[in-house]
Amino acid sequence: MTDQQTLLKAGKVIDTLGSLYDSLTPSAKRISDYVLAHSSEVTKLSIAELSQVANVGEATIIRFCRTLGFKGFQEFKMELAIELSSLNQQEKSILDTDVTPQDDAELIGQKLHKTINNVLAETLNLLNFDTLEKVAKQIKSAKAVYFFGVGSSGITAEDAKNKFMRIGFNVDALTNNHFMYMKASLLQKGDLAVGISHSGSSKETTKALQLAKEAGADTVAITHNPRSAITEFSDFVLVNGNRQGKLQGDSIGTKISQLFVLDLVYALLVNEDADSAKENKIKTTNALES
């Protein structure tokens, strides 16, 4: 059992549905689709009425609610109603962040700015801060830390290497699957492997984390889906947001949400030992300048 279980709890319904969506069953996805499209209406429906409009059985709805951490449909409705009452409909809509062919440069800039705000707010909603602090402690105590990722997530892994090395940690980043597998298989107890995969379904990163765990290392996953394949081999799961327009893909929202999670861990480590972090950063900066 990993810390990912603590993520599946009551509250933050809309963001949690988005995070878990790809791992839901087809019938649960129908419920989720209806809830996301008709959130206010759902808070007024009986379980029988929702069963009819979503074309699923009542037992399926109860299982769906329990998947999200609720005891039943009534508790789910109450939490959803509380959430909706505290949200401004315009602010939570992501449709107005879609970039269209008619947009000029200034409007695109405004939409991307809103996308960044949206995805960071979602990340804060989805993160488990107890787990975040545990990961920071794992990095601090680890003999060595290895960041694994391919494609866009590989760029995030390289950024993490640069960031944590600057303050004195023994870190490396591997973005080629062959190197990832070799290094992961050679890890030992006391090492820490961090797999970065937004979808959580990257076969390369998942295999690297599996090899690292089998070798005795502790493992962390940074992903949007807390029930994805990569989390099966993770001792700790950190969830990043994905609230962005359809045309933007992972061009900005995904990358910023991953970097934001790593920045939070970085800030915790610096805050815990500011003098040492400052000293190491001065050393590395001087080394580059000279």
Q: What's the pLDDT at 185?
A: 98
Tell me the angle at which helices 253-272 and 105-126 cross, rounded to the nearest 10 degrees.
50
Please compute the mean of the pLDDT values over residues 56-80 and round it to a whole number: 91
Query: Quick one: residue 217, left, alpha or beta (phi over 0 = left, psi -120 to 50 = alpha)?
Result: beta
d(CA 198, CA 220): 13
Taking every pair of C-alpha atoms in the chain, what is the biggest distance, in angstroms? 72
Sheet holding 171-174, edge to edge: 171-174, 145-148, 192-196, 218-223, 236-239
Residues 6+ apart with CB under 8 A from 242: 18, 19, 119, 122, 198, 224, 253, 254, 257
Contact 239, 126 (CB under 8 A): yes
DSSP tally for the chain: helices H, then strands E? 14, 5
Coil, strand or helix: which one is 104?
Answer: coil
Q: Is 60 exceeded by the pLDDT of residue 11?
A: no
Q: What's the pLDDT at 5?
A: 40
d(CA 223, CA 119): 13
User: Is position 92 within any domain?
Assistant: no
User: Is position 101 within any domain?
Assistant: no
- Which DSSP helix (H) or strand (E) runs through 86? none
Domain of 274: which CATH number? Answer: 3.40.50.10490
Comparing CA positions, the residue from 218, 171, 226, 228 lying closest to residue 193 is 218
Please compute the mean of the pLDDT values over residues 125-142 and round it to a whole number: 96
Q: Are residues 33 and 140 in the same domain?
A: no
Burial class (CB in 10 A: 0-12, 13-18, 19+), 271: exposed
Q: Is 90 exceeded by the pLDDT of residue 129?
A: yes
Tell me the per-residue pLDDT of 149-171, one tens digit each, with 9 for 90 and over.
999 999 999 999 999 999 999 99
Domain of 16: which CATH number? Answer: 1.10.10.10
Tell me the per-residue pLDDT of 77-118, one tens digit each, with 9 for 90 and over.
988 988 887 665 444 444 456 777 888 898 888 888 888 888
Please compute the mean of the pLDDT values over residues 28-51 and round it to a whole number: 93
Specify the number of domains making up the chain. Answer: 2
Q: What's the pLDDT at 263?
A: 97
d(CA 282, CA 243): 37
User: Is position 105 within any domain?
Assistant: no
The pTM (predicted TM-score) of the whole model is 0.80
Q: Are residues 195 and 279 in the same domain?
A: yes
User: Is position 110 within any domain?
Assistant: no
Q: Are residues 201 and 257 in the same domain?
A: yes
User: What is the distance of C-alpha 274 from the center of its chain?
Assistant: 27
User: Where in the sequence is the domain holding 24, given as residue range(s)?
Assistant: 3-87
Q: What's the pLDDT at 2?
A: 46
